[in-house]
Structure 1
């Protein structure tokens, strides 16, 4: 077994360790899908990410530990001294910044962004506290960088790498240009580190957002106001109420039981090789009279920024489709790179009307739906490519690499 590094694609911690592997040219497989990986489940029961397992079975988790070990694996004494420190004092100082970036700084950045992205219930007080903490940390960076080019030593080190990735994460919507203008030394350092080859794997063409993301609360407030205006309906006496006909749990339930073994297909897809085994089995059992295929595209790709945020958007959409999941299967992918990406996928639904399946999600109208005819080679190939994830997506005649994705199962 080759060495493996498990990460969450697009997360700051995932980007740090993945970029280190590429920069150091290590023989390590980077794995982003761990849900069905028995090796991961067996060796990392606490579900810690990133996680490393070597060819000899050596296991390691926690970002700081993994980062230091990867540098040691390069077997380059000069580079190791530069990145990790050449004396006890340098090593301690670098570790100080590494652990700070991975704890306090990352926690405040994630708290602000997750609240603004709707990944946590929005709370203005929590948001204000997180932004205040980021400002306090920026002041500490500003003070240090008034006299020094780098954070821990006289040269580029792991301290700069770790802190850069977390600030890059925060600058994608937790704070905007007005925040950055207040800290010129921080931004001078940030731009210096951003030009280093180590961070170019994931941050080439990176652009911080001009303003913070808007809080996701406007719609909820309007809905609450409307509900408060409406008078509660008066209940008729129980004896006078006409007997109500029992309604099916879901509109698609009216179609009855399908001959297609959906659960068998989901298991086969997750456990078998997609193209050589799973897809031939699927087409053998698929019945287009009972099911339909749809190309699903996000309408607002020009508003997407970091690829991991785009993937989180897909994950949230799939979560909100939970009442329709037993009538659906499919996958959606994020193609492209940070600040230039899009979302597209192929989803199979019970019946021929896409609205019945998708309208259970409040954000379903943010997507466009195009019916596919799998008797056409090009439509069948599109479905296979979306479910196999092994070929670039063709967008306006240009091939775009798949960076991440989600399976609806």
Structure 2
């Protein structure tokens, strides 16, 4: 039976987010994986060689081979092969849910990412209608993930799986180029999940420790695109230039080729454009900017209910990260008692007041989800662990809360008095 325990080699290029998936999976599973060096693999040269195509008929990157004679292409297949049982899912349901999220990411998230980011990088020509459609799709994607992660630490189960790895990798360019602070603020659950994962050592070893979040949504740079197209233009039947490969997907040759067909006439003209044309392109680009800024500018700012309280020394966000990613008994609880600021924070125990009204377990869980949703603005200053005890038609809710101050936090905001 084929095994992933044999020494393997991954053929990829620096910055390839699809190569990241396999590398991160190998870090978690402990599988032996070597990244081909520059002497072993040169993009657009090695992958066009007869030997490479014999092993990997599509000529795509990334690709994988090991000492047992296994040859694989397509990033998701490679990542799956290099994973352990935890990453793949321990039950049939978990495995199916993981595949569900991987397919969603590849079909929905990645196309939106390339449409929005590649023009900003100068790889593809800007298309206003495509850009507007991608922005609308991005809003739906971010909202879906944010809602789903409201009561979940990870996408499937209680541990990191290939679902998390795949979607984080497909979101990397968006968080780097498009998803600016106001967008992250409106999707706190998604942002918390993303930051939790990219700060894991298995992720940082692959993507680096200095990942920079977007400060302002990038826009299409017409001048940069013209310069790159003029300098690096090659016949449509050949792959894109090497220096564009660092941030591109294995299929970007096909996408770029289609764009080149549309803009062949423009590319025959001088790369330097008149100021009038540049101004017109800038106007068209700005017209397609995200409307988030305008929405937030018109929305009345609400005072932070905790603004007048002394700032505690207890770092709530850091404790949540420890609680989510470390063993509760051995790491999280000792961390809590070592760092808890009892002078400025308090601990509360709660029980559901009307347990006789509770019926089905799943309905009780939905009550908790709805409760958390209404208290979302409290999230920054509080921590809660709620549990359902009992069985169908005989259950109740209890939990522990921690927040700033020594009084009931719900009295601080009318939004919380529900």
When normalised by structure 2's length, the TM-score is 0.49
Query: Which residue does 2:160 correspond to in 1?
Result: 156
- Which stretch of the first structure deviates more once superposed, 15-24 or 52-61? 15-24
Q: Which residue of 2 aligns with 1:216?
A: 221
Deviation (angstroms), 1:172: 1.4
Residue 53 of structure 1 aligns to a residue whose secondary structure is strand
Query: In the alignment, what sits opposite 1:105?
Result: 109
Structure 2 Cα separation of the partners of residues 166 and 332 of structure 1: 21
Give deviations 1:222-243, integer Å, cap 9, x for gaps: x9xxxxxxxxxxxxxxxxxxxx
Q: Secondary structure at the match of 1:155?
A: coil
**CA apart distance, 1:9:** 2.2
CA distance 1:100–1:26, change in 2 (3 Å): same
Partner of 2:351 in structure 1?
A: none
Task: Give yes or no for the alignment of 1:319 onto 2:232.
Answer: yes
Match for residue 295 of structure 1?
none
Alignment of 1:356-395 (within 5 A): none
1:7 aligns with 2:33: no
3-state SS of paired residue (2:31): coil
Contact 1:16 1:165 in 2 (8 A): yes
Matches of 2:224 and 2:13, distance apart in 1: 30
CA distance in structure 2 between the aligned counterparts of 1:122 and 1:47, rounded to whole angstroms: 28
Q: Does 1:65 align with 2:77?
A: yes
Aligned partners of 1:61, 1:179: CA distance in 2, in Å? 35
Is residue 116–residue 135 contact of structure 2 (8 Å, CA) maintained in 1? Answer: yes
Structure 1 residues not aligned, in runs of 5+: 72-79, 224-312, 324-330, 336-359, 364-409
Residue number in structure 2 paired with 1:47: 59
Q: Give the Cα separation in 1 of the matches to 2:27 and 2:208.
A: 13
Secondary structure in 2 aligned to 1:52?
strand
Give the Cα separation in 2 of the matches to 1:11 and 1:33.
13
Cα drift, residue 8 of structure 1: 3.3
- Equivalent pair of 2:180/2:213 in contact (CA under 8 Å): yes
- 1:307-355, CA deviations, whole angstroms, 9 ceiling, x for partnerless residues? xxxxxx9x768515x79xxxxxxx98999xxxxxxxxxxxxxxxxxxxx
> Which structure is higher in strand share?
1
CA contact (8 A) 2:223 2:272 kept: no
SS in 2 for 1:110: helix
Are 1:95 and 2:8 an aligned pair? no
Unaligned 5+ residue runs, structure 2?
1-5, 236-241, 247-269, 274-418
More helix per residue: 2
Out of 42, 48, 52, the residue aligned to residue 33 of structure 1 is: 42
Q: Tell me the secondary structure at the aligned position of residue 17 of structure 1.
A: helix
- What does the per-residue CA deviation read over 1:202-230, in whole Å, with 9 as the maximum and x for residues that have no partner? 1312121111112223799xx9xxxxxxx
Aligned to 1:187: 191
CA distance in 2, matches of 1:81, 1:24: 8
Partner of 1:198: 202
Deviation at 1:116, TM superposition (A): 2.1
Q: Give the number of equivalent residue pairs.
A: 231
Cα distance, 1:25 vs. partner? 4.3
Residue 23 of structure 2: which of 10, 18, 23 is its match?
18
Alignment map for 1:333-348 (pairs within 5 Å):
none
Contact 2:64 2:72 in 1 (8 A): yes
Check the 8 A contact 1:108/1:130 in 2, yes or no. Answer: yes
Decide whether the 8 Å contact of 1:9 with 1:15 is kept in 2. no
| Helix, strand or coil at the partner of 2:53 | helix
Cα 1:362–1:199 shift into 2, 3 Å: farther
Could you state the TM-score of these two structures normalised by the residue count of structure 1? 0.50
Alpha-carbon contact 2:149-2:193 (below 8 Å) kept:
yes
Is 1:165 the counterpart of 2:169? The answer is yes
Are the equivalent residues in 1 in contact too, given 2:25–2:162 (CA < 8 A)? Answer: no
Computed over aligned residues only, the root mean square deviation of the Cα atoms, in angstroms, reads 3.3
CA contact (8 A) 2:119 2:220 kept: yes
User: 1:43: Cα distance to partner?
Assistant: 1.8
SS of 1:4's partner is strand
Q: What is residue 180 of structure 2 aligned with on the other side? A: 176
User: Aligned partners of 1:49 and 1:103: how far apart in 2?
Assistant: 18
The answer (yes or no) to whether the contact 1:50–1:62 under 8 Å persists in 2 is yes
